[in-house]
Structure 1
Amino acid sequence: MHFSIGILTLSDKGARGEREDESGRIIGEMVASLGEIRRYEVIPDDEERIVEVLVEWSDRDCLDLILTTGGTGLTQRDITPQATARVLDYEVPGMAEAMRAASLAKTPHAMLSRALAGVRRQTLIVNLPGSPKGVRENLEVVLPALPHGLAKLKGDPSDCAR
């Protein structure tokens, strides 16, 4: 099964063209086998704009998966989790917990991540860190579960038990 994917990078500097979006590129490479990247954008850390894009990509474009990168820390400009929470129908806390647990084995700073994962309509939205290293490490954790989760969201009726 192939899925439609959106990659949303939240970066003031990236949106101004002052920084290359290495994290978005890494995400694209890592999820290429899952399907087609239909939407990609770099926007500033602006809560209303993030909400607008997440709603548009979920409701109008009907993407199966949206991966965000950036804005999950503690600074005033780190507002990705707040924006994401505003659009979710429900959270999938195990994904964020798994990412934090795996990262915590590498750095105590992982406990400062406020990343969320959840569903809006039939779109899975996952917040990833902004750093290329953090993106790679966190996406590696959830990547094996994505095909099954996305298939279920698309209505796969098969039994989950083996």
Structure 2
Amino acid sequence: MKDVGMKPESLRRARASAELLAPPHCIELLRSGDTEKGDPLKTARVAGILAAKRTDELIPLCHPLPIHRAEVTYELGDDRVRIIAEVETIGPTGVEMEALAAASLAALTIYDMLKPYCEPAEMSIRDCRLDEKRGGKSQYKRKLPAPAAAAVLVLSDTVAAGRKPDTAGRAVESELTAAGFAPIYYAVLPDEPAALLDAIGELRDRYALIMTVGGTGIGKRDITVDTLKPLITRELPGLMEAARAFGQRRTPYAAMSRGIAGFVGDSVLVTLPGSRGGATESLTAILPSLVHIFEVCRDLPHPGGYQ
């Protein structure tokens, strides 16, 4: 199965449909609900909902999902019935297959209940398709429509002294590149307030996004948050709330992050944890929001770098 453990949850919807062709007298049976097995449309609705809830048992590589809503409705014509299935969840992956399974099984149920009333050649199921899906990366974009300049500042005494390589900052740089940020400035600084303030003074208003990596914990040398908080003119508290909530579902230590986010001048400032896991998890959680910020805000530094 595909690993979806690092995908953020969102409200996801899917609508699928299928069409069953049958002689007009069979369609009249659907209208009346009068067959020897009972009402076909009511029975097929229950079958379709059940199929949506149990798709992971029917299709081997589908993930089990909490189904928050499933519904099956119909459009009756003279010689056909269109089955429409709608499914919703809040989860890390979509419900397209659940909607398709619901439409398919509802159509098969109707077929089964009508088959005593016509010849096999007179009925067919066709055109089972996904009509719409919402949520996830198809709705909440994870890549910029146009490049925007970003800066990554790694705060670490040990990395700055050359005693260990930087993995967290480079991972963040790689993720930002994949998201369409360019050019990307990268630097490593010791955990010193003066050095950090000088760097922010040089970068603010020139880079649309400034990300610090490290210094958000509770150690005496974790100075990033305390140093940068007074510079923020407009807070974006929801970014770090989302990052911590995402992280806490993967490790309880995420609760110790004191990370902050907001505008410093015309730049968006985000402070990420210093571990590679904490930094990438936080960025995964907030990246759709960051992309949205750069789509809707017109007073940020010009896409691509300098004003």
Normalised by the length of structure 2, the TM-score is 0.48
SS of the residue 2:204 aligns to: helix
Partner of 2:269: 125
Q: Which residues of structure 1 form unaligned runs of 5+?
A: 157-162
Aligned equivalents of 1:15, 1:43: Cα separation in 2? 6
In structure 1, how many angstroms separate the alpha carbons of the residues matched to 2:230 and 2:202?
14
Of the structure 1 ranges 144-153 and 132-141, higher mean CA displacement relative to structure 2 is found in 144-153
Distance 1:109 1:142 in 2: 18
- Higher helix fraction: Structure 1 or Structure 2? 1
* CA offsets 1:38-85 (integer angstroms, 9 cap, x no match): 3211000011211221121004xx100011110110010001101121
What's the % identity of the aligned pairs? 34
Name the residue aligned to 2:171: 26
The 8 Å contact of residues 89 and 120 in structure 1, kept in 2 or not, is answered as yes
Equivalent residue, structure 1, for 2:198: 52
Q: Given residue 204 of structure 2, which amino acid in structure 1 is its aligned partner?
A: S
What's the CA shift for 1:2?
1.1
Listed as ranges, the matches of 1:1-150 within 5 Å are 1-32=146-177, 33-59=179-205, 62-150=206-294
- Equivalents in 1 of 2:227, 2:202: separation in Å? 13
The TM-score normalised by the length of structure 1 is: 0.89
Aligned-pair Cα RMSD in Å: 1.4
Q: How many residues align?
A: 154
3-state SS in 2 of match to 1:68: strand
Cα separation, 2, equivalents of 1:153 and 1:17: 39
Higher RCO, 1 vs 2 (CA within 8 Å, ≥6 residues apart): 1
Distance 2:242 2:160 in 1: 30
Q: CA deviation at 1:150?
A: 2.2
By percentage of residues, which structure has more strand? 2
Partner Cα separation in structure 1 for residue 280 and residue 168 of structure 2: 8
Distance, in Å, in 2 between the alignment partners of 1:138 and 1:13 is 22
Distance in 2 (CA, whole Å) between partners of 1:117 and 1:51 is 16
